[in-house]
Chains A and B, each alone.
Chain A
């Protein structure tokens, strides 16, 4: 045996559960990101830049920025920064062919997908905290009273966006120019999410006549889209990463 070491005794194996494996993969991604902060820093920077650029165009002294404009800015910033995160979602799997080792484990492919999705949603959520706070500050948007509902809309929109994005990101794992391709393929798919999110946010933060019933409809619509995208992702991930 090498270096005179005694051989390691065979391990006892106890198959890990689906969610435990998914959480393990998500925890791995977040641990790596916590150390490097590469992706999170880029996502947050982009989100802040988008909000600042729009603020120069729309913030007029002495007047309140219209709610639809604020909502649109928030969701555009979310999509732009989220795309950067998704483009990098599988980078660490590609480097050194770690994806091969991951696919060889008994972890179901759907658990791998769910793990990547959870990690992406977590990173986007952190970015969105900064994004929402900055938007509220710059546009004097009245979010305080409806923060919980806005957060729910953003969370549901983020899940749907990341669910669709993780699939495309995995499919483009070895593609050249995948950053450009990702946006080209992903944006047409996530248009309903952005429309629902922006409309719902507008109805919530309207300072004169907030429409909670309308916002509830868009929240439910986003929830339905989430179910659709997550189900499709869990089903499609296996053939996509297997190359079948």
Chain B
């Protein structure tokens, strides 16, 4: 297995065009290990496309991503070091929690899938979940815990989150913040795409996309906090033309 533990993920002039429509252009950024990077932006800014490219599920139209010394792409063996938690759980609803984890562990080539599944269920607080209950019967919070366990099943060095806090209750959001901090402490590269500025408050690095381009990329030791994230977001995503138009009409 490739050793990229501790290596940074570097994006260089990454672009993506869908049917002549530009989704990303000249995106350059560095995501360091042991940090949480939050990618923010309004709808259509290219956040999901960027996450798709980072996960290797979407091929970029331009630019490259290097992880350590290697180029990250669909044919790269580094794919096996990526974990992904989406707003959809990425699980088989008809399988139990253990069956889901065992399945994915075996596909990743984990030596003892059953033991790994049991360890991870305990790790995410699902050790007491009914063993015969299909995953589709789980609450949203339990499903997200299981989705995280699934993403961690092969001990990834890069962990991608796509709107993980959507539809989580406050307790679930707190749990998520704790987990994100734990993954940072574990030395993984953590990239979080979200609309939720509160969820992004734990981030050490904030990248803001607007119309497919990076308009803000800053790292702060000790994290941003909600107010700093909100201030950066509002200053970089406000539609100034619209503001001027409204000002001119006296609104």
Which residues on A are within 8 Å of B, measured CB to CB?
1-3, 5-16, 21, 24-25, 28, 31-32, 35-36, 92, 95-98, 100-107, 242-244
Contact yes or no, A97 B86, CB < 8 A: yes
Query: Out of A12, A32, A100, which one reaches B95, CB within 8 Å?
Result: A32
Contact yes or no, A24 B123, CB < 8 A: no
B116-132 Cβ-contact flags toward A at 8 Å (1 or 0): 10011011110100000
Nearest CB of chain A from residue B151's CB, rounded to whole Å: 8
Nearest CB of chain A from residue B154's CB, rounded to whole Å: 6
What CA separation (Å) do A92 and B122 show in the bound complex? 26
Query: Out of B90, B108, B122, which one reaches A8, CB within 8 Å?
Result: B122
Which residues on B are within 8 Å of A, measured CB to CB?
1, 55-59, 74, 77, 79-80, 82, 84, 86, 88-95, 99, 103-112, 116, 119-120, 122-125, 127, 136, 150, 152-155, 175, 178-179, 182, 186
A–B pairs, 9, beta carbons within 8 Å: A2-B124, A11-B111, A25-B107, A32-B94, A92-B94, A100-B57, A101-B150, A106-B109, A107-B107
Residues of A within 8 A of B84 (CB): 100-101, 104
Contact yes or no, A2 B93, CB < 8 A: no
Asked if A8 meets B103 with Cβ closer than 8 Å, knowing A13-B80, A15-B109, the reply is no
Contact yes or no, A11 B116, CB < 8 A: yes
Residues of B within 8 A of A11 (CB): 105, 110-112, 116, 153-155
Contact yes or no, A36 B150, CB < 8 A: no
Query: Out of B106, B125, B153, which one reaches A5, CB within 8 Å?
Result: B125
What CA separation (Å) do A145 and B88 show in the bound complex? 53
Residues of B within 8 A of A106 (CB): 77, 79-80, 107-109
Residues of A within 8 A of B107 (CB): 16, 21, 24-25, 102, 105-107
Query: Out of B82, B93, B112, B186, which one reaches A95, CB within 8 Å?
Result: B93
Nearest CB of chain A from residue B100's CB, rounded to whole Å: 9
Interface centre among A8, A10, A28, A100 (most CB of B within 10 A): A8
Closest B-chain residue to A98, C-beta based? Answer: B92
What CA separation (Å) do A24 and B78 show in the bound complex? 22
Closest B-chain residue to A107, C-beta based? Answer: B107
What CA separation (Å) do A107 and B186 show in the bound complex? 26
Residues of A within 8 A of B154 (CB): 11, 13
Asked if A28 meets B92 with Cβ closer than 8 Å, knowing A8-B116, A106-B79, the reply is yes
Asked if A24 meets B103 with Cβ closer than 8 Å, knowing A2-B179, A5-B123, A5-B125, the reply is yes
Residues of A within 8 A of B179 (CB): 2
Interface centre among A35, A92, A95, A101 (most CB of B within 10 A): A101
What CA separation (Å) do A21 and B92 show in the bound complex? 17
Contact yes or no, A13 B109, CB < 8 A: yes
Closest A-chain residue to B115, C-beta based? Answer: A11
Nearest CB of chain B from residue A159's CB, rounded to whole Å: 24
Closest A-chain residue to B118, C-beta based? Answer: A8
Residues of B within 8 A of A7 (CB): 123, 182, 186
Nearest CB of chain B from residue A13's CB, rounded to whole Å: 5
